[in-house]
Amino acid sequence: MDIIIMLIITLMFLKVIIKGKFDKRDFMLWILTFVLVVVLFKLHATSNLNLNL
């Protein structure tokens, strides 16, 4: 999953640099990457502790 995230970040960056602009599609790609990183965080940071919030 880390590789997928880094691939998207790299492609998004290269797209922005080559096109020389950051349009709505790139913005959507940024949001998608953001959501994927949050999901990855959730997968790694799930606790078994019976925390009382």
Binding of another protein at residue 16 (CB under 8 A)? Answer: yes
Select from 15, 25, 28, 30 the one that contacts another protein (CB under 8 A).
Answer: 30
CB 26, min distance to another protein, A: 9
* Separation CA 13–CA 19 (nearest Å): 10
* Separation CA 50–CA 53 (nearest Å): 9
CB 34, min distance to another protein, A: 6
Binding of another protein at residue 6 (CB under 8 A)? Answer: yes
Q: What are phi and psi of 47, to 5 degrees?
A: -100, 145
